[in-house]
Amino acid sequence: MMRESLNSLAVVTLISSLGLLLYSYALYPALLWVLTKLTSSPVPQGGQPDDWPHVSILLSAYNEERVISERITNLLEIDYPIDKLEILVGSDGSTDRTCDLVNAHGSRRVRLVPFECRRGKASVINDLVTHARGAILVLTDANTFFAPDAVGKLVTALTRHPSASAVVGRLELRSAVHTGNLDGLYWRYETWIKRLESHFGAVLGANGAIYAVRRERYWPLPSAAVVDDLLVPMLIRLHRGGRVFFVSDAHAYETSPVEVRHEFRRRIRIGAGDLQALTWTWPLLLPWKGMVALAYFSHKVLRWAGPLLLLIAFLANVWLLAHPLCRWLLAAQVGFYSLGLLATRLRVAPVVGLPAAAARYFIVLNVGLLLGFLRFVVGAQRPFWGTVPREGGSTHAAIPSAAGDIEGT
């Protein structure tokens, strides 16, 4: 009797774990797609603003001498009224030539805010907000490059959506697929989901590369925050209210880390930050938050639980090996993990090369999340970030014009 009860529990556990993963990665996007066809989205009001508001571009930097000059040049070429745009660069205790290179531009629109002690990106952003003069804050990274009209598109979207407290631009991640990093392919999938969530004004976090918020609605980040781009829009929504929309024609471009091992380190940091963010923003999961709660649970929380769900499913499957179907299922799991582990050798092989790289990337995502969670639990994660090797030198020249469709190239 006890054995039968345990078997029944294992069956429920196995089905539930795999079912939740399937729902998060496939059924939830499908549900969103159906709902977008059955419901109307908020109707934008008007067109471009008659009087363009003052904008402050906020950029946190730590030892970015390799890209900072080119990045500032890119921002100075933004197609926005010159007298209504300022660029604030906060140096978080940089020990290289970052500050000298910022000052070398000599433009009155560029202001360096140097901080001698390294405190983390969240503290830098909070301080830059206090220095900013603009009514609209555009947040970005040192290794990102904007299309010329990106800022104007973000401002127009905020103007046309009075209910918006933040808008998120469209980032294309170009990854070195030949090295096994499929970050760009995964990002296209995430962008599609973000587009669907935007139908309801229910986009969750931003990407640190390109997003904008109304300054009067900004909510200060906790100094220990790790994933600032996730937290800024979510804290604003939690404490100030308002919707968050995706602006597909506000283009930015960024190069992913060269190899999966570089991406792996970033995923560990993100994993720690995700669990930390959940402790601060869990009220957004309450049912009366509507579509935001659905998106948060389905798109974020279940993904974050992925490593645990995978482990539970594997163990339950092992327990049920007496059942022929479960033996086939376990063989499929072992085959999938083996494919990922052998991806380096199979990368150039026809047919199986790309699936192997995808399996490896999926494993990296989830192992990184798991290790990040463990770092957060033991208090080992600090609110600092570092640079990683990225393929290619100049990225500025790779930005297409506003008429181009970055993601389609």
Q: What is the pLDDT of residues 103-160, one digit of tens each?
A: 998 889 999 999 988 999 999 999 999 999 999 999 999 999 999 999 999 999 999 9
C-alpha distances in angstroms, 378 versus 55, 60, 260, 372, 374?
A: 40, 27, 25, 10, 6
Q: Look up the domain containing 242 and give its range.
A: 55-299
Please report whether residue 5 resides in a domain: no
pLDDT tens for each residue of 262-312? 667 778 888 888 889 999 999 999 999 999 999 999 999 999 999 999 999
Half-sphere exposure of 270 (CA within 13 A, CB side): 20
Q: What is the pLDDT of residue 384?
A: 62
Q: Would you give the DSSP letter of residue 408? A: G
pLDDT in tens, 157-206: 999 988 899 999 998 876 555 554 556 677 888 889 999 999 999 999 88
188 found inside a domain:
yes
Average of per-residue pLDDT across 384-408: 44
Report, as an integer, the average pLDDT of 230-251. 94
In a domain, 394, yes or no: no
The pLDDT of residue 392 is 46
Rounded to a whole number of angstroms, the distance between the first and last alpha carbons of the chain is 60
pLDDT, position 264:
76
* pLDDT the model gives residue 346: 74
pLDDT at site 393: 44
Instruction: Tell me whether residue 129 is in a domain.
Output: yes
Q: Distance (Å, rounded) from C-alpha 178 to C-alpha 189?
A: 19
User: Residue 221 and residue 146: Cα distance in Å, rounded?
Assistant: 25
Helix axes 324-341, 353-377, angle to 10 degrees: 90
Domain-located, residue 401: no
State the average pLDDT over residues 208-229. Answer: 93
Q: How many structural domains compose the chain?
A: 1
1-15, 295-309, 343-357, 373-387: which has the highest mean pLDDT? 295-309
* Residue 196 maps to a domain: yes
Q: Mean pLDDT, the chain, as a whole number?
A: 86
The pLDDT assigned to 17 comes to: 95
Let me know if residue 390 belongs to a domain: no
pLDDT at 14 (0 to 100): 93
Q: Percent of the chain having pLDDT more than 90?
A: 59
Q: What local confidence, expressed as pLDDT, does residue 360 receive?
A: 85
How are strands ordered across the β-sheet holding 55-61? 110-115, 85-92, 55-61, 136-140, 211-214, 164-174, 243-255, 145-146
Here the CATH number for the domain that contains residue 116 is: 3.90.550.10
Q: Is 299 in contact with 197 (CB distance < 8 Å)?
A: yes
In a domain, 363, yes or no: no
